[in-house]
């Protein structure tokens, strides 16, 4: 595949000098003359105008050829279809006006635009669009009992695959616009900050049907249209009033899920006779609600003059679910005081207060959300638990001290306290306290050798969730070194150790429907470490070579809880879970002469994940671990070059080859082999 693009540059004529003097800022320059006694006296003053900047315009067009074999996930964020391309740039600076436009369109799913305009310091506008395409997975289902068929086996398990060969993808357009207006002779600003995110395409929906766990279990995959929009706008005003800067803004935000918001499928009857709780029929499921919200924010900040600076922020927010009627109110307030008693020493104290107050209806007339134990009156209305509210306070103190030139130390203590309402309904602790201590050191060991260290310790009393530790230790270290003019190196390492004394699981009695909290018998241990190294060599003049290596590894050791076929809660103790990724990369750049430049690179990534249960109940007939076992290899080759002709023409070539491999050929994972080629040939002309 290849891309041929012709670009044209058009340069406009310069404006007249008189017009530039009229529009551009002037600087007074005093002519200096030597008097008869040898001294200097100031003579006549002449105005100086900034030089005129010539406008530039660049246009381009071409065609893009694409080749693909296998899974499109080989190049995850490319729309892998041939398409026409075009683009251009414009830079016009006719002071006091400033205008800039940048446009790059690969296809209808991948384009970028950036528009800016300013008039003196009175009007400032910028709008940006970035649209990308994302290739999504089609995850296949494994039928563990092929004898069953959908909707016909009341106590069986079946698979209903409605998208066996469907390729999924979503186009995401991210748009933002900012407009600021200023009074000419006073620091008063009015601004509008808006964003619009649009997602369009389709993705896979996986769900349990046949009335789910109540009787027949039918695991289903099917396509789902995506037509989601998120709109937000904030209108604000700010000004400098003596030693204080004040900013007030009001914001509105909306999420629209499009239509249809829910999928509709056939569900079987639940129960018979006196135990009848749910009728058969076509019912909605997997509803995506419309959401809305608003906010008001006040910010205060003192000037930076002097050694004492203070700031404060107060915000009130509201979030609403238009489908269920649920609403959450937020109140957030905070402040900071910074004191600089001397150039070497800085102190800062911060405080933050946050209140979350959700409200929900006492019941919802949506029968597919109900369990039989909640449907007491057979009216197919769910009883909703009281909402979980919280109030939190955070206080921190920081000290920074420059010991000697090249050595800076910093320390911070942070205390967090969270109190919750209706905690007993959700089996979470009534309160949680966190104590966090962080220490930093930034040191220049010797000339051209710098070392940065950071250590963080956390002690958490009554963690809210199982993934949160009781205590943790984390160390980060990075070093940069330039031993000679032709080589520089960077090395960084991070390791974190987390410990949780026990995990808590909510167990529902299959007969009575009563919920209870059951602790696991063992601890939870987590180790996370990352390593990065990069070295750049200037081999000879105008030839550079960069080699890099990165490593990431996470290991979690915890109990796995599940229910057996009789509804009993069982534990598989100390099950290890691991994730690992390694990337090797080499890049080379060569400037042969003023006309020719070349670049080549290759990167190879190996990633794997899995967990390893031991209980025989989840190893037969197929081990549950096989659905999580994954190992992939991803390789990317790239070559590019550019040649500048004396006539002003520039010819360029780019080529990229991407390959994705399922290294273990696991039939139960969602990885498929794929290869993608992208080549571009460009020709540009500048005047």
Q: Which of 3-7, 210-214, 388-392 has the lowest mean pLDDT?
A: 3-7
Beta partners for residue 599, in sequence order: 589, 640
Instruction: Tell me, yes or no, whether 325 lies in a domain.
Output: no
**38 vs 241, more confident:** 241
As a whole number, mean pLDDT of residues 465-494 equals 94
Q: Are strands 168-182 and 123-136 parallel, antiparallel or unpaired?
A: antiparallel
409-448 pLDDT, tens digit per residue, is: 999 999 999 999 999 888 899 999 999 999 999 999 888 9
Q: Which two tokens stand for residue 291?
A: 């959401």
Instruction: Tell me, yes or no, whether 86 lies in a domain.
Output: no
Among residues 289, 320, 352, the one where a domain terminates is 289
Q: Is pLDDT above 90 for 191?
A: yes
* % pLDDT > 70, the chain: 85
Using an 8 Å Cβ cutoff, are 402 and 344 in contact?
yes
Q: Is pLDDT above 60 for 238?
A: yes
Q: Where on the phi/psi map is residue 60: left (φ > 0), alpha (ψ -120 to 50), or beta?
A: beta
Whose structure tokens read 């079987």?
A: 268
Taking the C-alpha atoms of residue 106 and residue 422, their distance in angstroms, rounded to an integer, is 53
pLDDT at 23: 42
Q: Which of 144-153, 233-242, 447-456, 503-512 has the lowest mean pLDDT?
A: 144-153
pLDDT at 185: 85
Length reported for the chain:
687
Taking the C-alpha atoms of residue 145 and residue 138, their distance in angstroms, rounded to an integer, is 21
Q: Quickly count: other Cβ atoms within 10 Å of residue 384's Cβ.
A: 15
**What is the signed CA dihedral for 457, 460, 464, 467, rounded to 10 degrees?**
40
12-44 pLDDT, tens digit per residue, is: 333 333 333 334 444 444 444 445 445 545 455
Instruction: Tell me, yes or no, whether 423 lies in a domain.
Output: no
Q: Is pLDDT above 70 for 490?
A: yes
Q: Which of 121-130, 216-225, 522-531 has the lowest mean pLDDT?
A: 216-225
Using an 8 Å Cβ cutoff, are 120 and 179 in contact?
no
Q: Which of 312, 309, 257, 308 is nearest to 286 (CA)?
A: 257
Q: Is pLDDT above 80 for 581?
A: yes
Sign, Cα dihedral of 208, 209, 212, 218? negative
Q: Which two tokens stand for residue 356?
A: 């979350």
Q: Are strands 674-685 and 649-662 parallel, antiparallel or unpaired?
A: antiparallel
Instruction: Tell me, yes or no, whether 152 lies in a domain.
Output: yes
Number of domains in the chain: 2
Q: Are strands 345-359 and 407-421 parallel, antiparallel or unpaired?
A: unpaired
Q: Which of 11-20, 124-133, 383-392, 647-656 has the lowest mean pLDDT?
A: 11-20
Instruction: Tell me, yes or no, whether 58 lies in a domain.
Output: no
Q: How far is CA 318 from CA 105, 327, 394, in A?
A: 38, 7, 22
105-121 pLDDT, tens digit per residue, is: 999 999 999 999 999 88
Using an 8 Å Cβ cutoff, are 229 and 255 in contact?
yes
Q: Which of 92-96, 246-250, 265-269, 604-608 has the lowest mean pLDDT?
A: 265-269
Using an 8 Å Cβ cutoff, are 609 and 579 in contact?
yes
Highest-confidence segment of 161-165, 352-356, 557-561, 609-613: 352-356
**DSSP label at residue 533:** E
Instruction: Tell me, yes or no, whether 36 lies in a domain.
Output: no
Q: Which two tokens stand for residue 143?
A: 């039928």
Q: Which of 108-122, 154-168, 226-240, 475-489 has the lowest mean pLDDT?
A: 154-168
Q: How far is CA 220 from CA 151, 193, 209, in A?
A: 11, 42, 7
**446 vs 311, more confident:** 311
Q: Is pLDDT above 50 for 532?
A: yes
pLDDT-derived band of residue 363, with 50, 70 and 90 as boundaries? low
Instruction: Tell me, yes or no, whether 584 lies in a domain.
Output: yes
51-74 pLDDT, tens digit per residue, is: 678 888 888 788 888 999 988 988
Q: Is pLDDT above 90 for 547?
A: yes
Among residues 628, 651, 666, the one where a domain terminates is 628
pLDDT at 45: 61
Instruction: Tell me, yes or no, whether 232 lies in a domain.
Output: yes
Q: Which of 297, 330, 327 is nearest to 314 (CA)?
A: 297
Using an 8 Å Cβ cutoff, are 563 and 569 in contact?
yes
pLDDT at 59: 81
Phi/psi at 592 (5° precision): -65, -45
Among residues 612, 628, 644, the one where a domain terminates is 628
Taking the C-alpha atoms of residue 595 and residue 592, their distance in angstroms, rounded to an integer, is 8
**85 burial level (CB within 10 Å; 0-12, 13-18, 19+):** buried
pLDDT at 419: 96
Q: Which of 654, 640, 549 is nearest to 597 (CA)?
A: 640
Using an 8 Å Cβ cutoff, are 610 and 629 in contact?
yes
Taking the C-alpha atoms of residue 102 and residue 91, their distance in angstroms, rounded to an integer, is 9
Taking the C-alpha atoms of residue 683 and residue 653, their distance in angstroms, rounded to an integer, is 9
pLDDT at 224: 94
The mean pLDDT value of the chain amounts to 85
167: CB partners within 8 A, 6+ apart: 72, 135, 138
**Angle CA 556–562–567, to nearest 5:** 170
pLDDT at 283: 79
The parent domain of residue 571 ranges over: 467-628
Q: Which of 599, 603, 588 is nearest to 535 (CA)?
A: 588
Q: Which of 364, 362, 375 is nearest to 270 (CA)?
A: 375
pLDDT at 9: 33
Q: Is pLDDT above 70 for 400?
A: yes
Please spell the DSSP secondary structure of 265-301, one letter per residue.
Answer: EEE--B--GGG--B--EEEEES----EEEEEEEEEEE
pLDDT-derived band of residue 669, with 50, 70 and 90 as boundaries? confident
Q: How far is CA 656 from CA 1, 360, 550, 585, 637, in A?
A: 10, 52, 22, 14, 6
Please spell the DSSP secondary structure of 172-206, one letter per residue.
Answer: EEEEEEEEEEE-TTS-EEEEEEEEEEEEEEEEEEE
Beta partners for residue 525, in sequence order: 499, 557
Q: Which of 110, 106, 102 is nearest to 85 (CA)?
A: 106
């Amino acid at each position: 595949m290849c891309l041929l693009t012709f670009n044209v540059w058009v340069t406009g004529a310069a404006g007249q000098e008189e017009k530039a003097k009229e529009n551009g800022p002037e600087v007074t320059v005093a002519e200096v003359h030597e008097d008869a006694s040898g001294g200097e006296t100031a003579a006549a003053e002449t105005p100086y105008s900034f030089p005129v900047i010539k406008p530039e315009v660049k246009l381009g067009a071409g065609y893009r050829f694409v080749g693909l074999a296998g899974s499109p996930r080989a190049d995850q964020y490319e729309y892998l279809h041939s398409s026409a391309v075009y683009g251009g740039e414009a830079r016009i600076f006719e002071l006091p006006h400033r205008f800039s436009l940048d446009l790059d369109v690969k296809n209808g799913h991948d384009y970028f635009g950036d528009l800016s305009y300013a008039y003196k310091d009175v009007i400032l506008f910028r709008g940006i669009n970035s649209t990308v395409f994302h290739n999504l997975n089609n995850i296949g289902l494994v039928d563990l009992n092929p004898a069953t068929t959908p909707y016909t086996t009341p106590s069986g398990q079946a698979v209903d695959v409605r998208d066996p060969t469907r390729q999924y993808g979503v186009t995401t357009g991210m748009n933002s616009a900012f407009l600021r207006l200023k009074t000419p002779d006073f620091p008063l600003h009015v601004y509008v900050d808006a964003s619009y995110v649009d997602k369009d395409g389709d993705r896979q929906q996986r769900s349990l049907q046949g009335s789910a766990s109540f009787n027949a279990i039918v695991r289903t995959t099917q396509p789902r249209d995506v037509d989601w929009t998120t709109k937000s706008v904030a209108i604000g005003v700010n000004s400098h009033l003596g030693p204080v800067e004040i900013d007030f803004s009001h914001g509105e935000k909306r999420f629209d899920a499009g239509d249809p918001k829910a999928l509709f499928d056939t569900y079987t009857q639940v129960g018979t006779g006196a135990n009848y709780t749910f009728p058969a029929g076509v019912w909605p499921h997997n509803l995506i609600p419309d959401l809305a919200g608003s906010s008001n924010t006040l910010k205060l900040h003192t000037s930076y003059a002097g050694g004492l600076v203070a700031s404060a922020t107060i915000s009130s927010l509201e979030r609403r679910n238009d489908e269920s009627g649920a609403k959450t109110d937020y109140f957030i307030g905070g402040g900071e005081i910074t004191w600089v008693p001397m150039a070497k020493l800085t102190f800062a104290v911060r405080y933050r207060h946050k209140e979350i107050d959700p409200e929900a209806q006492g019941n919802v007339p949506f029968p597919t959300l109900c369990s039989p134990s909640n449907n007491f009156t057979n009216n197919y209305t769910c009883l909703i638990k009281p909402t979980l509210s919280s109030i939190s306070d955070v206080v921190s103190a920081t000290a920074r001290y420059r010991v000697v030139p090249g050595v800076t130390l910093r320390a911070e203590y942070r205390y967090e306290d969270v109190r919750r309402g209706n905690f007993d309904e959700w089996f979470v602790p009534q309160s949680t306290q966190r104590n966090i201590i962080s220490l930093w050191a930034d040191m220049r060991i010797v000339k051209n050798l710098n070392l940065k260290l950071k250590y963080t310790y956390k002690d958490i009393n009554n963690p809210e969730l199982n993934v949160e530790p009781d205590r943790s230790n984390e160390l980060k270290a990075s070093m940069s070194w330039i031993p000679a003019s032709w080589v520089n190196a960077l090395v960084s390492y991070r390791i974190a150790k987390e410990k949780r004394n026990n995990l808590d699981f909510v167990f529902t009695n299959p007969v009575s429907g009563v919920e209870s909290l059951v602790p696991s018998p063992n601890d939870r241990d987590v180790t996370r470490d990352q390593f990065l190294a990069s070295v750049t060599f200037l081999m000879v003049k105008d030839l550079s070579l960069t080699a890099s290596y990165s490593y990431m590894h996470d290991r979690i050791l915890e109990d796995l809880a599940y229910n057996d076929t009789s509804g009993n809660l069982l534990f598989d103790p100390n099950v290890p879970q691991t994730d690992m990724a390694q990337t090797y990369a080499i890049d080379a750049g060569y400037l042969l002469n003023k006309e020719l430049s070349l670049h080549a690179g290759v990167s190879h990534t190996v990633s794997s994940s899995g967990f390893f249960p031991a209980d025989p109940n989840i190893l037969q007939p197929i081990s549950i671990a096989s659905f999580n076992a994954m190992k992939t290899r991803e390789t990317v080759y790239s070559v590019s070059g550019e040649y500048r002709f004396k006539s002003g023409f520039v010819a360029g070539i780019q080529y990229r080859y991407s390959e994705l491999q399922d290294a273990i050929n696991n039939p139960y994972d969602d990885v498929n082999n794929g290869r993608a080629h992208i080549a571009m040939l460009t020709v540009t002309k500048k005047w």
